[in-house]
Chains A and B, each alone.
Chain A
């Protein structure tokens, strides 16, 4: 029975008894209802009195009950009696409990916080391997499993390993395999287990192995450095490239692989790697263990941790020595090519210039192949010869030759083949309209890429006017009627010599080939060659071939040659000599070499041979001018000088002819008397000039 009820009952009974006694004293009769009233009053009073009395106790009780439920409520001491003291004690207890509770809550919160933030699933097992506690994240993952046996939640859990403290296991959940690490701590009968998902770790381990394999098997040198740029990792590729093993290089700075002059650049590269994160395309030399220089293409990258701090560097180097060499070679080749190209362009330019020169030359320039076909034809050739380029190209070059010179092309080619590369002579050409012109040609050989003669190049200058003038002048000057490009025969050796001398006076180069002595002939030794089998200076073997070569090799085309046949006839037969004369005739006619006079006074040849010679050669005719030869010579001298703008004096006449003054005066006087010359005063001296009559004489001549 509760205390309150007891109290109430006690009060009621006492009150009732008191009432009975009290009422009995009342004089007026007591109504039944008064008992009810008293009962109600006593009940109500008792109720509130009991409440007052028991209220502190009940309050304490309620406070205790609240405390048991975890609500730390204090009671208010309403009196100073034992209830008040009890209330104060209770309040103190509540305070202590509140502190303990706070600490416990703090501890639990911390524990919970740790559990929730734990990287893993925490659970506890009892001695029968039944799950008695799970952390919130365990519940989230595996559901409410408290109370279940461990093997019901995790199939094939290695319970026997719980004593080991730490092991790995694979959880199969929702068809997925999750590798986990289990850490167990036994606390009495309880196993406190922490399960961590190590899938990521396993994956990282696999990746690490994979990357290690890449590092080890890479052909490139991969070097990992610390923050001081000292080598910490040196892969197989680096070993193969530089020859150092890892043990030899770990701890050394990277620049030990570099030449000293590269160290500064190395430092700069490291700085750049720190600032920019990486530096690539570093092409630099490195020194291998054997001292060999290796050109590498290096990439330098800085390694940072999660906070962004530099923890090291990675240098990856690729051997590009061969590539560099190839590049260098290519560069050199390119330079060479450029040089050749420049040269080619220069040559092209020159060729273009030359072509322009050729095309615009004042001389006719054309080329003839070995078949005698014209292969090039410049503008001047068109002008001179009348054939257009289109007509001339491919045309037979002999179309340009007069009838009598049809063999010239073959002659030229033959001479070229013989090695006569400097062929130059005067000749004649046939224009398209049939007129013959005098040209001075220079022949040059053309060789193909194999060095074989493929043709000739001919430069032809029209000298018709000049030739005409020369011939006119020669006609006037020469004493004899001889023309250049002909050979003459005479049986008068003195005449022949005189002709030669006259020609020499008129500018020809004289050459006498004879057995007779020069002093007898009145020629100087420089113009003389003696026919003799003995080889001496100034002798010529009486061999037609040699004689032919000697005569044809005479330079220029104003040669006056006297060939004495008498000794030859002794040494050779007439056929050989005749053949020689024919060949010489061709040469002199074709090449217009000069004048050849053959002479024979010998009776070694008969009439028939002489007729043959006369038929082959022309006769020498003297020009009749009506004045003595020596006077004519003086007139010719003065005329020749006047033609060049000079007016000789008597002294010049003396010097030229080697005569005395008086003789010179006499001859000059005779010319004065005939009116062929006149004396002009030129200052203090007197000079001589041919008059019109004198010129007339020269023209007639």
Chain B
């Protein structure tokens, strides 16, 4: 995670042995199981599951050699996964939405981003952790964390903790949002905006909005936030580049893939590529999880959790205010 990814050099130096193949297969199975679980329940983020499966496998086997093999392939898998994951980004046409919805969504996302970032820094969390939580909370959850992580180079524990925390916060939203909607007598459109603008993962948005039959609307709004990843990624790559205005190639390819899949690529091909991309990215997350120590992850502590929940709450409160004020 900390190394600058240079794919050709890594590929040149990678001698593939039987153990390597075994390891890759294990990681692939972890990714596959995670994907299948996601298929069963969209709320279960495949990247989170793959990471978790990787952590469990790594901590159960406790084989340093295997960890080294997993470590060896991360620089290869991650940029490829990021690049392919671009097909999952669907850049929406903003004209389809009401201006106030777009504005609310953008403001909410930004508010959540800033709130989480600010609270994290106030709680004396590291800058990388703060950015991970802010991106994960404000933009598109685990995938955002996974995409920006090679730019800001966080510790593995922080990366893993951020994914787990964002997943927990997202799942909390998945549980309480329906009750919240019922209790507040929210209209389905309003709920769609709320879930789309404030929930982290796409799957959770889908699950929570399924109750009211407003999936498409909620996912469309979510898409606005997802599209922000391109901008954030570009900004972060410039801010954290080793030399001025340098953007890593996989970021460029990710953005290109996102643009290409959103505009020119036929839907069937996109639909075919998306599972592949998800599987690839999940395998990468499994490899990362394999190399992480649970003990170190838990040592991150409860502060990131508090920051993530608190920042999320700010966003929710804002949206509730808007909804309650009949702005939307």
Contacts and interface: CB of A to CB of B under 8 A. Distances in A.
Interface of A: 4, 26-28, 33-34, 36-38, 40-41, 44-45, 47-52, 54-55, 58-59
B18 interface: no
A55 B157 CA distance: 14
B171 interface: yes
B171 A40 contact: yes
B89 interface: no
Contacts of A45: 168, 305
4 closest Cβ contacts across the A-B interface?
A51-B298, A44-B168, A52-B302, A37-B171
Given A48-B304, A50-B298, A55-B299, A41 B168 contact: yes
B175 A38 contact: yes
Contacts of B171: 37-38, 40-41
A33 B43 contact: yes
A679 B198 CA distance: 201
Contacts of A40: 167-168, 171
A49 B161 CA distance: 12
Contact of B301 (A27, A28, A44, A51): A51
Q: Tell which of A27, A38, A47, A58 has the most Cβ of chain B within 10 Å.
A: A47
Contact of A37 (B174, B179, B299): B174
A47 B295 CA distance: 9
A59 B299 CA distance: 9
B297 A37 contact: no
Q: Tell which of B172, B174, B294, B298 has the most Cβ of chain A within 10 Å.
A: B298
A49 B306 CA distance: 10
Contact of A48 (B41, B44, B161): B161
Contact of A36 (B44, B304, B305): B44
Contacts of B207: 33
A490 B211 CA distance: 220
A26 to B, nearest CB: 7
Given A33-B43, A40-B167, A40-B168, A47 B175 contact: no
B77 interface: no
B167 to A, nearest CB: 7
Contact of A44 (B41, B164, B295): B164
B95 to A, nearest CB: 35
Interface string B150-191: 000000000001001101100110110011001000000000
B23 interface: no
B172 A48 contact: no
Interface string B286-328: 0000000011011111111100000000000000000000000
A40 B175 CA distance: 12
B167 A48 contact: no
Q: Is the interface of B mostly helix, strand, loop or mixed?
A: helix
A47 B298 contact: yes
A27 B171 CA distance: 20
10 contacts: A28-B182, A38-B171, A40-B167, A41-B175, A47-B294, A48-B300, A48-B304, A52-B301, A52-B303, A55-B298
Contacts of A48: 161, 164-165, 298, 300-302, 304-305
A192 to B, nearest CB: 42
Contact of B302 (A27, A51, A58): A51
A38 B44 CA distance: 12
Contact of B167 (A44, A49, A51): A44
A33 B164 contact: no
A466 B122 CA distance: 167
Nearest to B168: A44
A58 B299 CA distance: 9
A80 to B, nearest CB: 16
A33 B40 CA distance: 10
Given A44-B164, A51-B300, A58-B299, 20 more contacts: A4-B298, A27-B182, A28-B182, A37-B43, A37-B171, A37-B174, A40-B171, A41-B175, A47-B294, A48-B161, A48-B302, A51-B298, A51-B299, A51-B302, A52-B301, A52-B303, A54-B298, A55-B301, A58-B295, A59-B299
B168 to A, nearest CB: 4
Nearest to A33: B41
A37 B297 CA distance: 20
Nearest to A37: B171
Contacts of A50: 298
A192 B299 CA distance: 50
A37 B301 CA distance: 21
Q: Tell which of A4, A33, A44, A54 has the most Cβ of chain B within 10 Å.
A: A44
Nearest to A19: B175
B21 to A, nearest CB: 32
A50 B297 CA distance: 11
A681 B171 CA distance: 199
B40 to A, nearest CB: 9
B168 A26 contact: no
A26 B295 CA distance: 36
Nearest to A46: B298
Contacts of B168: 40-41, 44-45
Nearest to A55: B299
